[in-house]
Structure 1
Amino acid sequence: MPPTEPLLDVQNITVSFDGFKAIQNLSLNVEKGSLRVLIGPNGAGKSTLLDTIIGKVRPVSGDVRYLGQSITRLPEYKIANLGICRKFQAPGVLDGLSVRENLLVACKGGKGVFSSFKVGAAAAERARVDELLTLTGLTDKAGMLAALLAHGEKQWLEIGMVVAADPQLLLLDEPTAGMTAQETAQTAALIRSLVGRHTVLVIDHDMAFVELLDAPITVLHQGQVFREGDLAALRSDADVMEIYLGRPKETGHAQA
């Protein structure tokens, strides 16, 4: 059988800002239903890559393909409509609405208010909201104002809001920023539960979180793919440790 086409295929893209190449000839592909983690030092090009995938940034060369179709020149809203959703680092929930109301708004999406008058639409939306409350662990907080949620709970709510659109490809930018260790572990479990029905690409700096995700890792450095592999292999790679953790490579000379 011929190999299946990846869901996301980034082909030799270069992104330049006033002559500075934030991404240089970068290629990456992500299989449907998989989980992939992007790590790398600040300025490695991780967020710029996500910006390029969603159409916020245009590459000067190369191509981004999704389900075999080039999306490089499509406007952002058309890319989103194809099933690509991004969650940014800061939660973007509606503080004046309850948790349930936030999820209901997300479930309606771009369908418009009149969709609620269709036979069965309201019941289907309520069932979907209940499903998302269970998924995010927020069932007991359904009636609480989003403004009153803890930081980690807001992050889970926004993940639920993004998932409400049922995207094929979910892009998560540092979803555990500012979380406690317990919240980080719960977030890892939540993300892993999405895999299969969704394809997930995660950026994060927290190596404890990356370890909990237990997924293939791509290391970016200076706008390029530097290494790919599992966490154990990357931790034993002196070059990765040097660029990611700032450790000098051992020279073999005894240290004073």
Structure 2
Amino acid sequence: MTMHGDLRQIEAANAGGRPPVVFIHGLRLLPTSWQRWAGVFAEAGYAPVVPGWPDDPDTVEEANTHPAVFAGKRVGQVADHFCDLIGRLDRRPAVIGHSFGGLIAQLSAGRGLSAATVAIDPAPFRGVLPLPVSALRVAGAVLGNPANYHRAVPLTFAQFRYGFANAVPEEEARELYRTYAVPAPGEPLFQAAAANLNPWTEAKVDTGNPGRGPLLIVSGEKDHTVPWAIANASYKQQKDNAGVTEIVEIEDRGHSLTIDSGWREVCDTALAFVRRFH
């Protein structure tokens, strides 16, 4: 989606007067992955805003035909992009992010821009120390080759099956791969991997800001990419904040929990939390 399209969504949210909710996707997906969530939140009385990362193509087909558009994206650049868009809203939104989108949602909250935040299987930030074997295996698909730092890297179906769709039947996993999977920039994965070695890392969240607002971290029980150990370590970094901080584990769910056949349970969990504060 173009920046122009993002700004149109923000103008519509400002004009409509309903409380805004911003959805931030992670690596391997596009804004269209939030389409059903946006519908649920619109029915609940919110104004959904579903922006893209810089240069996101409009469709999965276009993304897989021209993967180079994803290359060279940094965590800081993407966070600034979303925070700029969020700052154009007339009122602070709820922000919901998945995977690297969950990291960016926490960065936004740490800058005091969010009325409430839901981080779903969020990518780790500086201070989050666990490195479970499954997460290392998933990241190794990119980190195993230093040349991937500046590349856009697609996943094979086998890699997608392990990293995203391990908790759904094979047939559904193949359908999710066809429908949603796109290449991803390598750089954010290298940045996250080195966050605890680099004091100046962009993958650094201000967990102490008293203006952070309420935060819910959602963890899929069977997630290989962001296992409970990582999600819970993020929660522990956040829990001393003055705002409400909660964590919930959803049973039998993998990293595809926002897009697979069980998406509605996760969506309703996020909606219930947002409704309490926004």
Q: Into which bin does the TM-score normalised by the smaller protein fall? A: under 0.3
Greater RCO between the two (CA within 8 Å, min separation 6)? 1
TM-score by length of 2: 0.26
Work out which of the two has the higher radius of gyration on C-alpha atoms and give 1 or 2: 1
Structure with the higher strand share, 1 or 2: 1
Structure with the higher helix share, 1 or 2: 2
TM-score by length of 1: 0.27
